[in-house]
Amino acid sequence: MTPTLREVAQLAGVSIKTVSNVINGYPHIRPATRERVESAIAELGYTPNLTARNLRAGRSGAITLALPDMGLAYFAELAAQVIETAESAGLIVQLEHTGGVRERELELLRSPRRQSSDGLIFSPLGMSQDDAGALNVPYPLVLLGERIFDGPTDHITMRNHDAARAATEHLLESGRRRIAIIGAHEGEVIGSAGLRFAGYRAALEGAGIAVDPALVGYTGLWHRANGAETMRALVETGVDFDAAFCLNDTLALGAMRALEELGRSVPDDVAVIGFDNLDEAQYSIPSLTTVEPGRGWIADTAVKALNARIDGSVSREERSRTLFAPYRIVERESTLAGRST
Amino acid sequence: MTPTLREVAQLAGVSIKTVSNVINGYPHIRPATRERVESAIAELGYTPNLTARNLRAGRSGAITLALPDMGLAYFAELAAQVIETAESAGLIVQLEHTGGVRERELELLRSPRRQSSDGLIFSPLGMSQDDAGALNVPYPLVLLGERIFDGPTDHITMRNHDAARAATEHLLESGRRRIAIIGAHEGEVIGSAGLRFAGYRAALEGAGIAVDPALVGYTGLWHRANGAETMRALVETGVDFDAAFCLNDTLALGAMRALEELGRSVPDDVAVIGFDNLDEAQYSIPSLTTVEPGRGWIADTAVKALNARIDGSVSREERSRTLFAPYRIVERESTLAGRST
DNA sequence: ACTCTCGCCTTCAACGTTGTAGCCTGATTG
DNA sequence: CAATCAGGCTACAACGTTGAAGGCGAGAGT
């Protein structure tokens, strides 16, 4: 089908290895020979077979990015960043979905498909700390997110606790006192929900306010519908509140929608802050104040860290590192001066 | 590093080929032998080397999906679908960004990286009909979208003209008569913008209404900001209109935001319809009436068509087909009964 | 008893590359 | 003038896998 070195060699009247040498820039080749080879390559339209090269080299030139679901805006934007960074490092990105399901995640780590790429950037969602052992894999692995800590691999994450605290403090500073939280997970300690909840609690306690269980909205999934539903339920309990910290933007957008439907004004009646700084957050009505989680930095750093393990510039023995992305609060309309001003 | 067939064979005391046979389910193997091999595999944690397998098979088990940008919701959702479908067909998906830039698209078609996957699903944006020749590539290719028609490859698209006509008619049926269009491209004939504009024109003319140039909002990019800006400009001209057909949902969401800011109510003053049925459209305020473009069908069909070319069940000689996805109007709040009811 | 068939397993070669070793030629050197 | 060396090329082996072909014994058929 496609031509191989053998055919190019035959046409140019040289050995197969000489063609290989020309292609790989080996210096000691007579100009005349080089020229003959090059024109043979051009004539046949030869391109090297990467599979063979990879087999020879023991490398594939590809990395795998495993995410819960590309349909979720946060992951889509993360993937876009990873692809850009990998592209400029000459790497191909293979994408896998886990659906956030523990079994699929464990399966993914063991799958023979891992052999077809040189390393994995993995954002677990279903696995928990107990599964950390499964991360002990024979290939380079970089972990994202906050499901698992102290694993045996490099880990890129953000300071969820601090960022959530800052987000809550932002609401407190604008005079809000009755701050609901949307998206909590019952009993979770680590994981985005657990850490962000702890940051929320810390901010409140720092301001001398106790966490009111009536203001804690639990919801397993973080989709728009869940945000809307949880907010609706909260309003229907009749409890008083003047702000909501939503554990991600998607929840926040759903919650804002529910508030609007129920006749509560954002930010006048209820200030809303999200988390993730999705592209969408700046175009919602009202635009959404949120936490920018350093997604670009995360993608860059993850690809670089993985690459360092792949090319051996950081060896397998070297201790795993945990790197924290810088965050910042992006202030928009949904938390503008409220009731108390 | 990772064990190979050779080591498994040694441990099990059989030939390398027998191990291979066990793995590939060759029937004539004594249970005792099979068991020894299997326990050797388990003991060593052997997994087959896919690169070698692929070299042998002349296949890579991967397909490439090339899209303008995963950061755009439409493409992210499309990619999610493609990944799901490919996964269940046992294929790995490699993702490439073109940025919608013609040169990167042409480069992508020729790149040696194509050799590392078995085929390409390609959604061009920068290339135009004149570049159709570049689609004559030596590997299986499936084209998406409406930039190029009558290319040499299978093509999955939708009936943009009909769907746009239906969308416009939906507005007409609710009594709207002054229908603006947002996102037109000057002089474009094919391409999403051109085809959808033609459908808009056809609907209006079918209702005995001429296209009013004052109601045509041009914008090159289809981002939220462009939708908002174009709508703002339209309102500022002072022209009268009671509906807007936005050529995609993102534009529509931006346009709705601008209308809201300018004190026009949706749908009471202006009905808005979009195109794409993004997940987001059902959660906006108001929720957005839109055209569901059959994204799931497109992803499924694209993977299947590509796979058919790859495994040879549809040969290279067989004529290329153009397949049209089914569409439908999804009615939501943004076009509910307006002025004239 | 002799072939035939069939089950079970092995050897060989090949997929397309590239690293290693080495061969030949002509120029340089003491 | 032999020894040395560098330049320019080639042959071979190997990366890990699997299809093709074939060997060997045991039971079936004649």
Q: Is the CB of A52 under 7 A from strand C?
A: yes
The pLDDT, as a whole number, for residue B166 is: 98
Q: Provide the terminal-to-terminal Cα distance of chain B, rounded to the nearest Å.
A: 74
**Identity at B8, one-letter amino acid code:** V
Cis peptide before A326 (omega within 30 of 0): no
Give the CA distances from residue B153 to residues B106, B134, B222, in Å, rounded to whole numbers and listed in that order: 15, 11, 27
Q: Which of A171-175, B85-89, B240-244 has the lowest mean pLDDT?
A: B85-89
The pLDDT, as a whole number, for residue A30 is: 93
In whole angstroms, give the CA distance from residue B232 to residue B255: 8
pLDDT digits (tens, 9 = 90+) for B99-129: 999 999 999 998 888 888 999 999 999 998 8
Backbone angles phi, psi at B201, to 5 degrees: -60, -45
What structural domains and CATH numbers belong to chain B? Answer: 5-48 (1.10.260.40), 60-159+295-327 (3.40.50.2300), 160-293+329-335 (3.40.50.2300)
Regions in chain A scoring below 70 on pLDDT:
1, 317, 338-341
Which bases in strand C are touched by protein, i.e. have an atom under 7 Å from a CB? 7-12, 14-20
pLDDT digits (tens, 9 = 90+) for B176-234: 999 999 999 998 888 899 999 999 999 999 999 999 999 999 998 898 889 999 999 99
A5 contacts chain B (CB < 8 A): no
**Identity at A295, one-letter amino acid code:** R
Q: Is the CB of A113 under 7 A from strand C?
A: no
Nearest residue (CA) to C1' of D6:
A28
In whole angstroms, give the CA distance from residue A127 to residue B4: 29
> Would you call A332 helix, strand, or coil by DSSP?
coil
Which residues fall inside 7 Å of strand D, measured at CB? Answer: A 13-18, 21, 27-30, 32-34, 52, 55-56, 58; B 4-6, 16-17, 20, 23-24, 46, 48-49, 52-53, 55-57
In whole angstroms, give the CA distance from residue B288 to residue B291: 10
The pLDDT, as a whole number, for residue A320 is: 84
The pLDDT, as a whole number, for residue A319 is: 77
Query: Who among A48, A93, A256 is closest to B95 (CB)?
Result: A93
Tokens of B247: 């050529």
The pLDDT, as a whole number, for residue A1 is: 67
Give the number of other CB atoms < 10 A from CB of residue B312: 9
CA of A58: nucleotide with nearest C1': D15
Residue B309 pLDDT greater than 60, yes or no? yes
> Which residue has better confidence, A116 or B135?
B135
The pLDDT, as a whole number, for residue A2 is: 85
Chain B residues touching A62 at Cβ < 8 A = 94, 116
Residue B91 pLDDT greater than 80, yes or no? yes
* Structure confidence at residue B29 as a pLDDT band (50, 70, 90): very high
Q: Which long-range contacts (CB under 8 A, 24 or more apart) does B36-42 make?
A: B36/B12, B37/B8, B37/B12, B39/B12, B40/B8, B40/B11, B40/B12, B41/B8
Q: What average pLDDT does chain B have? A: 92
DSSP A132-186: GGGG--SS-EEEESSS--S-SSEEEEE-HHHHHHHHHHHHHHTT--SEEEEEE-T
User: CB contacts < 8 Å between A and B, how many?
Assistant: 145
Which of A117, A283, A288 to mutate to probe the B interface, most B CBs <10 Å? A283
The pLDDT, as a whole number, for residue B133 is: 92
Q: Do A285 and B93 touch (CB under 8 A)?
A: no
The pLDDT, as a whole number, for residue B10 is: 93
Q: Do B95 and A83 touch (CB under 8 A)?
A: yes
Q: Do B94 and A93 touch (CB under 8 A)?
A: yes
- The distance (Å) linking the CA of A128 with the C1' of C14 is 46
Name the percent of chain A lying above pLDDT 90.
76
Chain B residues touching A87 at Cβ < 8 A = 96-97
In whole angstroms, give the CA distance from residue B109 to residue B112: 9
Residue B247 pLDDT greater than 90, yes or no? yes
Residue B338 pLDDT greater than 70, yes or no? no
The pLDDT, as a whole number, for residue B1 is: 67
Which bases in strand D are touched by protein, i.e. have an atom under 7 Å from a CB? 7-12, 14-20
Residue located via tokens 């439907």: A261
Question: Using alpha carbons only, what angle is made at residue B64 by residues B63 and B69, rounded to the nearest 5 degrees?
Answer: 150
CB of A103 closer than 8 Å to CB of A124: no
> Which residue has better confidence, B305 or A311?
B305
Residue B280 pLDDT greater than 90, yes or no? no
Residue B340 pLDDT greater than 70, yes or no? no
Q: Do B94 and A62 touch (CB under 8 A)?
A: yes
The pLDDT, as a whole number, for residue B249 is: 96
Residue B206: partners with Cβ closer than 8 Å, 6 or more residues away: B165, B169
Give the CA distances from residue B242 to residues A228, B180, B181, B253, in Å, rounded to whole numbers and listed in that order: 30, 8, 11, 17
A221 contacts chain B (CB < 8 A): no
- The distance (Å) linking the CA of A17 with the C1' of C20 is 12
A107 contacts chain B (CB < 8 A): no
